[in-house]
Amino acid sequence: MELIKSISGIRGIVGKTLNNTIVNSYTNIFTHIQTKGDILLARDSRYHGEDIYENICDTLTFMGRNVVSCGIIPTPTAQFIIKEKNLAGGIVVTASHNPIEWNGLKFLDSDGCFLNADKMEELLSGIPETITIEKGDIIESEDVYLKHIDNVLNLECIDTDKIKEKKFKVVVDSVNGAAYKVLPELLEKLNCEVIKIHCKNTGDFPRGTEPIPSHLGDLAKTVRNEKADIGFATDPDADRLAIVNNTGFPIGEESTLILAVESYLKFYKDSQTIVTNLSTSMGVDVIAKKYNSTVERSSIGEINVVEKMKELESAIGGEGNGGVILEESHLGRDSLVASALVLNHLAQSNLSLNKIMDTLPSFIMIKDKITLENDIEFNDIKDQFKNENDITFIEGDGLKILWKDKWVHIRKSNTEPIIRIISEAIDNTTAEGLIDSIKQIVN
């Protein structure tokens, strides 16, 4: 297996496909392509991240950059701080949802967003340079996350007083990752009673790193036992949020964006443009239509959603993996923003979450994957469906086959050596049938 290079940065298995030589090389190139100024450095809680972090810090200061050293903070916090402090950019040491043996680097531009496709290509194809320059300084900034919390508390679309009145009981599972203290502190400032599980910065992930329903057993059990109003779960770098309802049922990470979008649209009441990606639930479209708004879709990848939000001047967007993007805060997926929007929805609706879910569109989504062995011939897949009525093919990011009430999307992963196959329909049988039909063609 080789080092994975994508629009999301680089990821590899520590000591095998990812080592300090590789890390320092890309750090060097990043320094040269960014404008002058200080660079933020942050990481998630993986134990091997500390050594990588220190090596990057040495490289950056050797290249003459001052380093705003933030330690363990969420990726969205890093993005917000870069924007807030007008920094030259940032590097976050994280492999996001990949297993513990993985690590990687996410590269952030001077606006706090991920590097766009052109800049990532420049980074990945660049050659390190050696120069002699005055050594930079290290600026310790481990409490800088408090500015991010204050930003979320002061968002125009969040009725903090209403949330505080409700005194919600919330269980938080940060998978011992970067949200271990930031998310609980935000919730406490919203007058929530916070019950923490897996909220240490040890980096030993006690459950699967992705906040998908099958990994949320401890959270679900705690919500039931504590008779909590809601449970929140993040991935290791805390850009994604998954939810367990008040009965202890994981509602699925696709529902996070749907709830957040409705919370936002109920506040503004006028027509909005929501941007999401090709694999996000059509439930977003149903909610948008309810509020006289529209949905535009981008290729997979946070920066692709962000670039389209910029293009369309969209105020809210995100991805169905639990990633919510609110322009008023910053243009990046953010579990803190998502948590506040969802609590805002609960407070304004005056209903329990399971009752709110009864009012939302219900579809069945199945996410599957197969190991990548050979290139996919998308034309072969299209040939199998081309004679069907009312069908649309969307290409550019793999192949999405779209009917009026169902769809299937086939694409190579940006972060793993696999092919992802995602389907959605009004019932499980239809959704499974779409997955099976694609597997038969591919295999």
Per-residue pLDDT at 377: 80
- Spatial neighbors of 118 by CB under 8 A, at least 6 apart, are none
331-348 pLDDT tens trace? 999 999 999 999 999 999
Q: What confidence category does residue 8 fall into, taking pLDDT thresholds of 50, 70 and 90?
A: confident
Residue 156 buriedness (CB in 10 A; 0-12 / 13-18 / 19+): exposed
Two tokens, residue 33: 């392509």
Sign of the CA dihedral with 71 first, then 106, 38, and 307 last: negative
Q: Within 10 Å of residue 320's Cβ, how many Cβ atoms?
A: 25
3-class secondary structure per residue, the chain:
CCCEEECCEEEEEECCCECHHHHHHHHHHHHHHCCCCCEEEEECCCCCHHHHHHHHHHHHHHCCCCEEEEEECCHHHHHHHHHHHCCCEEEEECCCCCCCCEEEEEEECCCCCECCHHHHHHHHHCCCCCCCCCCCCEEECCCCHHHHHHHHHCCCCCCHHHHHHHCCEEEEECCCCCCCCHHHHHHHHCCCEEEEECCCCCCCCCCCCCCCHHHCHHHHHHHHHHCCCEEEEECCCCCCEEEECCCCCECCCHHHHHHHHHHHHHHHCCCCEEEEECCCCCHHHHHHHHCCCEEEEECCCHHHHHHHHHHHCCCEEEECCCEEEECCCECCCCHHHHHHHHHHHHHHHCCCHHHHHHCCCCCEEEEEEEECCCCCCHHHHHHHHCCCCCCEEEECCCEEEECCCCEEEEEECCCCCEEEEEEEECCHHHHHHHHHHHHHHHC
Per-residue pLDDT at 378: 86
Per-residue pLDDT at 284: 97
Per-residue pLDDT at 101: 95
Per-residue pLDDT at 186: 98
Q: What confidence category does residue 380 fall into, taking pLDDT thresholds of 50, 70 and 90?
A: confident
What mean pLDDT is predicted for residues 27-54?
97
Q: What confidence category does residue 304 fall into, taking pLDDT thresholds of 50, 70 and 90?
A: very high
245-272 pLDDT tens trace? 999 999 999 999 999 999 999 998 889 9
Q: What confidence category does residue 371 fall into, taking pLDDT thresholds of 50, 70 and 90?
A: confident
Two tokens, residue 145: 């996350």
Pairing mode, if any, of strands 193-197 and 169-173? parallel
Flag whether the pTM goes above 0.85: yes
* CA separation for the pair 106, 2 (Å, rounded): 17
- Residue 191, sorted as left (phi over 0), alpha (psi -120 to 50) or beta, turns out to be left
φ, ψ at 365 (rounded to 5°): -115, 135
* CA separation for the pair 216, 219 (Å, rounded): 5
What mean pLDDT is predicted for residues 420-433?
96
Of 259, 268, 284, 285, which Cα lies nearest the Cα of 349? Answer: 259
* CA separation for the pair 216, 282 (Å, rounded): 24
88-130 pLDDT tens trace? 999 999 999 899 999 999 999 999 999 999 999 999 999 998 7
Of 324, 173, 158, which Cα lies nearest the Cα of 239? Answer: 324
Per-residue pLDDT at 396: 87
> Does the structure show a pLDDT above 70 at 398?
yes
Domains located in the chain, CATH noted: 4-142 (3.40.120.10), 148-244 (3.40.120.10), 254-358 (3.40.120.10), 364-442 (3.30.310.50)
Tell me how long the chain is. Answer: 443
Q: What confidence category does residue 135 fall into, taking pLDDT thresholds of 50, 70 and 90?
A: very high
**Exposure string for 159-172, b = 16+ CB within 10 A, e = fewer:** bbeebeebebbbbb
* CA separation for the pair 67, 42 (Å, rounded): 10
Instruction: Tell me what the pLDDT averaged over the chain comes to.
Output: 95
Per-residue pLDDT at 442: 80
What mean pLDDT is predicted for residues 295-317?
96
What percent of the chain is modeled with pLDDT above 90? 86
Where is pLDDT greater, at 387 or 89? 89
> Does the structure show a pLDDT above 70 at 373?
no
Pairing mode, if any, of strands 407-412 and 399-402? antiparallel
> What separation in angstroms does the CA of 69 have from each of 78, 81, 115?
10, 11, 20
Q: What confidence category does residue 415 fall into, taking pLDDT thresholds of 50, 70 and 90?
A: low
> Does the structure show a pLDDT above 70 at 1?
no
